[in-house]
Homo-oligomer: A and B are copies of this chain.
Amino acid sequence: MERPRHQGMAKNTYMRWRLPLVCLLLEVAMIVLFGVFVRFGPEADAHWEEEKKEMNVSSDIENDFYFRYPSFQDVHVMIFVGFGFLMMFLKRYGFGAVGFNFLLAAFGIQWALLMQGWFHSFKTGKILIGVENLINADFCVGSVCVAFGAILGKTSPIQLLVMTLFQVTLFAVNEYILLNLLHVKDAGGSMTIHTFGAYFGLTVTHILYRPNLEQSKDKQGSVYHSDLFAMIGTLYLWMYWPSFNSAISEHGDAQHRAAINTYCSLAACVLTTMAFSSMLQKKGKLDMVHIQNATLAGGVAVGTSAEMMLTPYGSLIVGFICGIVSTVGYVYLTPVLESRLHIQDTCGIHNLHGMPGLIGGIVGAITAAAATEDVYGKEGFIKAFDFTGSYKTRTPSVQGGFQAAGIVVSLVMAFAGGALVGGILKLPIWGDPADETCFEDDIYWEVPEDEESDVYHMHSPGDKPASP
C-alpha cells in the first residue's frame, strides 16, 4: 500500500519505539504516583463498616455509590463511545477516531484522578477517591476529547498523549480557580469542560496550522457507513447528557432537576437544528454533519444552569437558540475560521462546544443572578449556591458576576494553555503525518488489506494507484 508520493517535507511517522516508550513511561509514572498518593475514600474502604456507625448511616444504600454510579456509567459511555464514535464520520479515520480517543482517555482519567485529587480530595497526605472522583476524571477527559475534535486526523498518538498530559493539568488548575477561588457553580461544565476544551483545542489547531491541508481534502469527507457509525456517538451523547449534567450535582432535587432541564434543552435543540439544516441548504436537504453535532449544543449550553431553577421552558429556549447558533456556525463560520483565522477545526468543535459553552456560561451567570429565595425556598437557596461559611453573605447578583468572571478565566486559560501546548506539539519530534496523509488510518494502524484496496478501486475508478 505504500504509494510513491510527492512530499514537500518527508515526515517520519514511524512509531515503533517512540509510542511504546511514551506509553510505558507515563503508565509507570502513574503507578508510582498512585502508590504514593491514591487510596480509597471512606465509602469505598473496608473500614466503611465501622465508619457507618460513627457517621450514623443507617443503610448501605446511603453510600454515595448508589446515588452516582448509574450516572457515572452513562458519562463513561459518553466519553468512550460517545466521543469515539462521533469522530468516526471521516471515511478513512475510524480506527484513529475510536482508538486514539480510547488511548488518550484511558491515560487522561488516571492523570486527572491525581491532578483533581490534589486539589479537591487531598487529606492527610493521601488522595481519597470514590465514585465522584471517577466522574470528575471522566469530565476532565471530556475536555480533552473536545480538543481532540479540532485536531482529529492531523496528529500522532504521541502528540495526543502529550496534549492530554498538559491539558488535564491546566484543566485542574482552571477548575480549582473557578470552583474554589471564585466559588462558581458549573456542575455540567459549560465553562470548565466545553469552553475551556474548545478554545484550548482551537488554539492548538491554529498553531499547528497546515497551509497545504487541501492535499488530503478527499479524505476529509464521510461515506454512508461512517455517517451511520457517527450517529451511534451522537445518540449516546444526546441520550446520556442528562446524566452528564446531573452526575455531580447535590443529592436529591438538584440531580433530579439537572436531568429534567437537560432533557428539555436537548429536545428543543433537535428541532431547530433540523429546521436550519434544511433552510441553509439550497435544495433543502438535511446535512448529517448538523444532525450529528448541533443537536447536542443544547446539552452543552445548560451545563452550568441545569441544576439551577432554570425551569423546563427556560431550557427549551436555551436549546432552541443553540440549535440555531450551532448549525449556522457549521455553515458560515467554520469556513471563515479556516480561511481568515487559520483555524482548521476538523469536527467543528467551535460550533458544538465553543459557542454553546460560552452561551452556557452566560446563561448560568444570568440564572444565578436572577435567583431569589422565593423561587428556591430559604434552605434550597443556600444549598443550591452553597452560600455557607465565608460565602454566607454573597448575593445572587454578586454570584452572577463571579460566574461571568469564570467564563473569562476559562477563556484566558484556554488561549494561553493552548498556545503553550500548541508550541510544544509543533516540535518536529512527535511523528505527526504529512499534509497528504492526514485523515488516513493507514499511517498509524495496520489496516486490513483487501477492503483498503476496495476503497481505492471504488472511490476513484479512473485514478488508479501507481502500484496496485
**Interface on A for B, CB 8 Å cutoff?**
14-17, 19-21, 23-24, 26-28, 30-31, 34-35, 38-40, 43-50, 52, 59-67, 69-71, 73-74, 76-77, 80-81, 84-85, 88, 91, 94-95, 98-99, 102-103, 106-107, 109-110, 113, 129-131, 134, 157, 221-225, 227-229, 231-232, 235-236, 238-240, 242-243, 251-257, 259-260, 263-264, 266-272, 274-276, 278-279, 281-288, 291, 295, 309, 311-313, 316-317, 320, 375-381, 383-384, 444-452, 454-455, 457-461
**What residues of chain B lie closer than 8 Å to A445, measured between beta carbons?**
285-288
Q: Do B23 and A272 touch across chains, with their CB atoms under 8 A apart?
A: yes
Q: Provide a sorted-by-A list of 12 A–B residue pairs whose CB atoms are within 8 angstroms.
A: A20-B275, A24-B271, A27-B271, A50-B378, A63-B251, A70-B70, A73-B240, A73-B242, A98-B228, A98-B235, A107-B270, A131-B259
Contact between B50 and A239 (Cβ–Cβ < 8 Å)?
A: no
Oligomeric state, in copies? 3
Minimum CB–CB distance from A342 to chain B (whole Å) comes to 27
Alpha-carbon gap, A276 to B98, bound state (A): 18
Closest chain-B Cβ to A313's Cβ sits at a distance in Å of 4
A380→B113 CA distance, assembly (Å): 26
CB < 8 Å: which of B106, B312, B459 contacts A270? B106
Residues in B with CB closer than 8 Å to A63 are: 251-253, 255-256
Please report the C-alpha to C-alpha distance between residue A40 and residue B315 in the assembled complex, in whole angstroms.
Answer: 12
User: Which residues of B have CB within 8 Å of A221?
Assistant: 448-450
Tell me if B67 and A286 are in contact (CB < 8 A).
no
Contact, CB under 8 Å: B106 / A236: no
Least Cβ–Cβ distance between A54 and chain B, in angstroms: 11
Q: Judge whether A287 and B446 touch: CB under 8 Å.
A: yes
Contact present for B15 and A312 (CB under 8 Å): no
Report if A35-B256 is in contact (Cβ < 8 Å); known contacts: A106-B270, A291-B99. no
CB atoms of B34 and A313 under 8 A apart: yes
A77 to B375 alpha-carbon distance, docked (Å): 33
Interfacial chain B residues near A455, Cβ < 8 Å: 224
User: Given the known A-B contacts A223-B448, A278-B20, are A253 and B44 also in contact in the complex, defined by CB atoms under 8 Å?
Assistant: yes
Q: Are B380 and A16 in contact (CB under 8 A)?
A: no
Given known A47-B377, A61-B61, contact A461–B457 (CB-CB < 8 A) = yes
Q: Beyond the given A98-B231, A451-B459, could you list 10 further A-B residue pairs with CB under 8 A, ordered by the A residue number?
A: A38-B311, A40-B253, A48-B252, A50-B380, A65-B256, A69-B70, A70-B70, A81-B235, A106-B268, A134-B259
